[in-house]
Structure 1
Amino acid sequence: MAQFERKSVEFEDFGKFLIQSKNFSRQFCGIYQARLASLKAKVSDRAKLKWNNRTILSIVDLTKDEYKEYPCIVIGTLYKYQELKPSILKEIANELQAVPQPPRLHYCSPKDMLFLEDDVARIKLVGDLPLNALVTGLVCAIYGQGLNDGSFLVKDFCFPGPSLKPLTQLPSTSTNDHGKLLLFLSGLDLVNQVNNLPMELLADWIIGFLGNESIQEEAANIVRVIIAGNSVRGSSEIFTRKGYFQNKKKDCQFAAEIHQAIYKLDCFLSKITKSCSVILLPGEFDPSCYVIPQHPFHPKILPTASKGGNLYGATNPWIGKIGSRIIGGSSGQPILDIMKLSNIEDSPLSCLEKTLEWQHFAPTAPDTLSEYPFDKSDPLIMNEYPNIYFVGNMEKYETKLVQGIDGIDDSEGRPIRLICIPKFSTSHTAVLVNLESLHTQSISFGSA
């Protein structure tokens, strides 16, 4: 019987999302100030290139008489007013009603308005803007002119990130990653997983216990397994004030379910890590902090799998280097939040692509997505463009290959593979990616 040695590859965690000291006493305004300060120079360069060195003014300058109806560029952070957005006061009011109101899945409405603000002032935007395709928190350059009513007429706009075009063929590469594969999973949801056969087949295939020699050789080429969140639980039950004491009785059952699911996850990972290295990201409903960046799983939560040294707990979002490729992505919260607040073709893949142009992993944080209150910097700014950019816990598998075409930054000519990883608990599907060719394929372990 043939034996195959698993291929190895260099690994580096950039560590940009690790929080060294936790201080929740700060205000969240510091995040927007740091975001604007970091991206202002880049978006300014793009604006000058796009609009032939037009004058760049601050929002306060627009109040001066000499700049009334003067064609110019203003730079700031977008704020999208949406009356349907979640509000703690509305939530309390709904709880006190006789009939609980169903949660909204989308917050866009015809009454939405867009504003641009900097460190000093705010101005209302009118004119040619795709309101439904934008969200709060984007650093943006706006070309237009101020109006007498105090608003700003928009003629065009641009963002700090690269312009992108679809790719049908990859440019030639000279990497040393030939044949080396990454395997992506997400949404194991072990609390609600009744059928364990797909996970058992998946583990057996990874460690080489399934298939003929050619299948085993392919499995030996997997250099890393990346699990993108919601491994323990894939959803959460929402309790209201009504029936509070009855809901409290569910706490013991809830804790027992979590304990059993963590034990199953530990057994599953310990089986894989005997043969292959695993990168584990937390998800929205996993035992980790709720705010992003979420810190890694504590090693004591998974005692057996953590012993061998092949289990690496990563943050969510996460970015690092595997072989010669930069890999980055999240467990899904940033993309799902953007989809609620916009109408970007109603596709998570389109939202994922937009975050490259916006140059930010989670622009809606901290407005509608909980985020740690940074003040001096915003680590969620995308300073390094990944070659493989993923999002977990999506409804279906999707992928797209794009390439930066803007000459201002070093992303020109760099291929970027976008991947939506489906929930394994419902699809029984994982995603294989070739590190050299960036060729991507789904692989299923069930009838779904």
Structure 2
Amino acid sequence: MPEDISERKVLDYQNLSDRFKNQKKDFTKQYCNIYNVRLRQMKQILRKRIIKKWGDKYPICDLHKLSETDYSKCIVIGTIFKDQKLKPSVLKQLAESNSLVPQPVHVHFTDDSDTLYLEDELQRYEVIGNLSKDELVTGISCALLGSDLGKGKFNAEDFCFAGFQTQIERPILNEDLYVLFISGLDLVHIEKTLLSIRLLVNWLSGLIPDANDVNTKIIRLIIAGNSTRTSHEKIKSTISLTSRKVEMPEVIESVKLLDTILLELAQVIEVDVMPGEHDPSNHIMPQQAMHHCMFPNSMAYKSLNQVSNPYECELAGLRFLGSSGQPVSNILGFCEIPSPLKVLESCLKWSHIAPTAPDTLGCFPFYENDPFVIEHCPHVMFTGNQSLFDTEIVTGDDGQQVRLISIPEFANTKTVAILNLKNLDCFPMSFSV
């Protein structure tokens, strides 16, 4: 018989994603204000980092006042803008639609001609010097130490980012307890994964014995997006403002199938369901939880939690933060950072989950606060819908330790990630048939 959920260990849980929910949908606001809000929040963090790294030896100067001073060397704070000629453009897409100028298809948009700028509310300077453009993207807040070269150029001799934020002490657990991560079920193409999903559900339910009893010690399942599908069907380009793509019957069927699967899972384990890029939720970030009306059967169980993307929670004193993959995939396309894990580590150094929003990643026009700023360093940071499983532990300047997890698409790899809460060990498990 499947093990009842009440027989599993119950740990204190708190959903910390309120800042990602119920965003004001006021699209009359200018998107440029997001950068002003972000910079205002990040300045407080950066000033502390400046004192720690450079002390009070150098003055801090506003960019728009730089030309009026005669500092031989000073510190400026601003937001990175990366000028990239290969960056997607609406004008280019319209030209292509009208067969005026055919555009090559790109998935990676870096080029040797890319140029870095630093900007604040009033001024922009071109940055030259020791700041490498290869591992930076638009939207990062940083501080530069250097000098004004005139003609709108700033020579950066050194730099600092906000860095890893304060981390609460990791709790001590005396037994092995696990969290299972999965993403990219792609239920529209259930024929590819039916047996593997059935094997996973039976294993979690206790119908398949486990020599190490790992399945009975899993206390939570996090589904990190793209449950219904992992990609949209290609449709003919159009510039019509009224046309829209009607959801295909197979998408509706995939939602019903997801409800059926969640019904089984929710009877034996706590489940958090995040929306993904191709799931029935709002497209721009942060994505709101998928509506409960889509899951009439499984929503009867309190163990099923519809959560946002990004998603932050605390479990037994351990803080989790992650997304269904859009921020990481977007960053990978606009810089030379080699892997999803390095992107996650960079996001911790930048103290921001999605710096490329709104430049190349859609988001709401925030004008009060930027919810993507990382105010507290997590113990576990994850990204869903990646090509391969990968994991490592990174350490911050003040000893913060964070387990990074790249969760693979289940439809392609039949692989999940399992995290041991006792020691933060993480390993893959395959359900390939």
- TM-score band (shorter)? over 0.9
Q: Please tell me whether the aligned partners of residues 274 and 310 of structure 1 are also in contact (alpha carbons under 8 angstroms).
A: yes
Q: Please tell me whether the aligned partners of residues 3 and 206 of structure 2 are also in contact (alpha carbons under 8 angstroms).
A: no
Deviation at 1:241, TM superposition (A): 3.7
Q: Please tell me whether the aligned partners of residues 177 and 324 of structure 1 are also in contact (alpha carbons under 8 angstroms).
A: no
Query: 1: distance between equivalents of 2:27 and 2:206?
Result: 47
Q: 1:11 to 1:3 in 2, by over 3 A?
A: closer
Name whichever of 89-98 and 145-154 sits farther off: 89-98
Q: Which residue of 1 aligns with 2:235?
A: 239
Query: 2: distance between equivalents of 1:384 and 1:272?
Result: 31
1:51 paired with 2:54, answer yes
- 1:342-361 Cα offsets, whole Å, 9 max, x none, are 001x2111111100000001
Q: Which residue of 2 aligns with 1:169?
A: none
Structure 2: runs of 5 or more not aligned: none
Q: Which residue of 2 aligns with 1:373?
A: 365
Query: 2: distance between equivalents of 1:80 and 1:174?
Result: 40
The one-letter code matched in structure 1 to 2:14 is E
Query: 2: distance between equivalents of 1:374 and 1:3?
Result: 45
Q: Which residue of 2 aligns with 1:281?
A: 274
Q: Which residue of 2 aligns with 1:414?
A: 400
- 1:253-275 Cα offsets, whole Å, 9 max, x none, are x5211011111111111111011
> Where in structure 2 are the equivalents of 1:36-75 lying within 5 Å?
36-53=39-56, 54-64=58-68, 66-67=70-71, 70-75=72-77
> Where in structure 2 are the equivalents of 1:149-298 lying within 5 Å?
149-162=151-164, 174-176=171-173, 178-195=175-192, 196-212=194-210, 214-215=211-212, 217-241=213-237, 254-298=247-291
1:349 paired with 2:341, answer yes
Q: Which residue of 2 aligns with 1:22?
A: 25
Query: 2: distance between equivalents of 1:65 and 1:260?
Result: 65
Deviation at 1:307, TM superposition (A): 0.9
The one-letter code matched in structure 1 to 2:50 is A
Q: 1:200 to 1:48 in 2, by over 3 A?
A: same
Query: 1: distance between equivalents of 2:220 and 2:2?
Result: 22
SS at match of 2:256: helix
Q: Which residue of 2 aligns with 1:393?
A: 385
Q: 1:152 to 1:182 in 2, by over 3 A?
A: same
Q: Which residue of 2 aligns with 1:139?
A: 141
Query: 1: distance between equivalents of 2:62 and 2:419?
Result: 45
Q: 1:356 to 1:257 in 2, by over 3 A?
A: same
Q: Please tell me whether the aligned partners of residues 75 and 141 of structure 1 are also in contact (alpha carbons under 8 angstroms).
A: yes
SS at match of 1:132: coil
Deviation at 1:380, TM superposition (A): 0.6
Equivalent position to 2:132, from 94, 118, 130? 130
Deviation at 1:242, TM superposition (A): 7.2
Query: 2: distance between equivalents of 1:173 and 1:122?
Result: 42
SS at match of 1:89: helix
Q: Please tell me whether the aligned partners of residues 134 and 335 of structure 2 are also in contact (alpha carbons under 8 angstroms).
A: yes
Structure 1: runs of 5 or more not aligned: 165-171, 406-411
Q: 1:259 to 1:74 in 2, by over 3 A?
A: same
Deviation at 1:189, TM superposition (A): 0.8
The one-letter code matched in structure 1 to 2:151 is D
SS at match of 2:189: coil
Equivalent position to 1:104, from 100, 103, 106? 106
Q: Please tell me whether the aligned partners of residues 385 and 408 of structure 2 are also in contact (alpha carbons under 8 angstroms).
A: yes
Query: 2: distance between equivalents of 1:45 and 1:395?
Result: 38
Q: 1:72 to 1:219 in 2, by over 3 A?
A: same
1:322 paired with 2:315, answer yes
Query: 2: distance between equivalents of 1:138 and 1:440?
Result: 30
Q: Please tell me whether the aligned partners of residues 78 and 135 of structure 1 are also in contact (alpha carbons under 8 angstroms).
A: yes
SS at match of 2:429: strand
Q: Please tell me whether the aligned partners of residues 228 and 392 of structure 1 are also in contact (alpha carbons under 8 angstroms).
A: yes
Query: 2: distance between equivalents of 1:34 and 1:391?
Result: 25
Deviation at 1:65, TM superposition (A): 5.1
Query: 1: distance between equivalents of 2:132 and 2:400?
Result: 28
- 1:177-235 Cα offsets, whole Å, 9 max, x none, are 621110000000111231300000000011111025x35x3212111100000000100
Deviation at 1:122, TM superposition (A): 1.0
The one-letter code matched in structure 2 to 1:403 is T
Q: Please tell me whether the aligned partners of residues 177 and 323 of structure 1 are also in contact (alpha carbons under 8 angstroms).
A: no
Q: Please tell me whether the aligned partners of residues 187 and 230 of structure 1 are also in contact (alpha carbons under 8 angstroms).
A: yes
How many residues are matched?
424
Query: 2: distance between equivalents of 1:331 and 1:39?
Result: 25
1:9 paired with 2:3, answer no
Q: Please tell me whether the aligned partners of residues 165 and 377 of structure 2 are also in contact (alpha carbons under 8 angstroms).
A: no
Q: Which residue of 2 aligns with 1:436?
A: 422
Identical aligned residues as a percent? 36
Query: 2: distance between equivalents of 1:305 and 1:141?
Result: 49
Query: 2: distance between equivalents of 1:440 and 1:267?
Result: 28
SS at match of 2:199: helix
Q: Please tell me whether the aligned partners of residues 75 and 140 of structure 1 are also in contact (alpha carbons under 8 angstroms).
A: yes
Deviation at 1:239, TM superposition (A): 2.4
Query: 1: distance between equivalents of 2:183 and 2:141?
Result: 30
Query: 2: distance between equivalents of 1:308 and 1:159?
Result: 44
Query: 2: distance between equivalents of 1:103 and 1:190?
Result: 28
The one-letter code matched in structure 2 to 1:419 is I
Deviation at 1:62, TM superposition (A): 1.6
> What is the alpha-carbon root mean square deviation over aligned residues?
2.3
The one-letter code matched in structure 1 to 2:412 is T
The one-letter code matched in structure 2 to 1:368 is T
- 1:282-307 Cα offsets, whole Å, 9 max, x none, are 00000000010000010111111111
Deviation at 1:20, TM superposition (A): 4.8
Deviation at 1:243, TM superposition (A): 12
